[in-house]
Chain A
Amino acid sequence: MEQILSNIIFVPIIIAIIVGVFGLSIKWIRVGAIISSVVVTILVAIVIVNFDPSGGMQFVRIVPWIQNYGIRYYIGVDAISLVILTLIAIVMPILYLYIWEERRKGYWYNMMMLQTGVTGAVLSLDMVLFYLFWETMLLPIFIMIGRYGSGMHQHNAMKIVLMTILGSMSMLFSILYLGYDYFEANGSWSFAVNDLATLHFDAQTSIWLAAGFLLAFAIKIPLVGFHTWMAPAYGSSPTPAVVILSAIMAKLGVYGLWRFGYGIFDTTLSYYAPTITTLALIGLLYYAIHAIMESDLRRMFAFSSGSHLSLIALGIIVANIYSWGGSLYFIATHALASAGIFIMIGLLFRRTKSLEIENLGGIASIAPKFAFFFVFFALSIAGLPGTGGFVAELLIIIGAFKYNIWIGALSATTMLSAMLYIFWMLQRVIYGEVGSSVSGFRDLDRRELMMLLPLMLLLLVTGIAPSLFMPYLEPQILTILSALGGIQ
């Protein structure tokens, strides 16, 4: 039981290494990948069952690593990381199903490495360990986009990597400074988050240090101004990478804001709150308007993703029980909805070899099941009641109103944002006359239904019965909030 989190992190990459070292055929790689994802899912289920919602950080494991500098292998999970961990456990098997026919081994290896990287990042409680995993998840994305992507994929792969690394580097400076400062203050080295939280800085230093972290997360989320890597990367990357980018990695940006922003820099964040709030509100509408005239479906939903993540970032900065509950819930439901829509876009691409909207149309006439799922996921993204997105958005809006009535009113524009591009897109892609690339469009087969049904069911369950999930989240949120000095 103690080892369970380490197993969750490392099983995928260990299997990948074993398969790679023995040079096994694609059949074995597939089996290995499926086994690793199933094992991970089971282990995560065990963690959920044994999870105590009011227990703070659990399943903690500390192993000394680079002892001279106090860097330890320190992992643990609390309610917030549990949400993202569960998402990874749900999305990865579905993606493996999606790439079942894929014969290029690199695809599979990269996916497994990605899973390790992402899981490790969300579970790390030691800053250097976190940084390690943060970089680890970037490399497979680089290869997936750069090698297996489409369009100007090499250019876009470079763009995403360089911009992300810019952020990571600034974060590294802050981490090292923090570590050194801790040493100065306490005579021993440590990079654990809860140790570093005890440090005190004067306002000026603290602002610069926080900036290092915030830059990394602002680029990841992305907030407006730091986002130009997003649409090209999403547009050029293959579907599994896009799903991970949107559903998991973007969430790690907001997760970072939570864990490290509020973990270490709680008071400094109020200095940055106006900036982040402004950027988030601008981003909410900017991305949505930008998406209207997009002609490539993946880019359009890249912007959609950015818009919703800006809302989540707003919810986090506003820092009260409703907005945090809503943000955490939105992390989960948006990941499910965007995984669904990007997978459907991938399925569309497989059939029509084109994602340009002008070549599409009339899918509802030819493939009703496909159309049904597509419309369902698109409307989930728009926050239709009955799906989880609605509950989340409502909570964030209430939280924003509690903070400030104007911020609340502006955040309510999220109700308007998604519809700007989704309905016109549905009209041109799903309805209307059959487009040039659409003839011969196959409806969903059983494997594809198996991929999509879990996502749809989860979206419905989170929409109809949020009370199943809230009790897991509420205690930890309250704990962190009260630690922040009652910022309610």
Chain B
Amino acid sequence: MTPEPLFAISTLLFCIGLVGIISRRNLFVTYISIELMLSAVNLLLATFSRLHGDSAGSVMVLLMIAVIAAEAALFLAIIIQLARSKKSIDSDEFSQLQQPRESL
């Protein structure tokens, strides 16, 4: 199996995830996009691991899956707290660190 299609898929997935983070306001979608980006990186790692016959990449993938799971839990907990406080999962609602508006 040649690695090129796998590179392509990985890049594609990464870009989709990137655009998703930037353009989507729904917090869940943001989370999904992050996961997508992580998956894409995982895929790339695994591909290179198989390509160079180096097991280090596969080990990193396994570790990452574990960490991603923990991160998922954390992320979802935060979303639930945010949703409780503002009754919304629009990320644009949570802009308290913005520049206060003032007139020139």
**CB–CB under 8 A between A and B in the complex?**
no
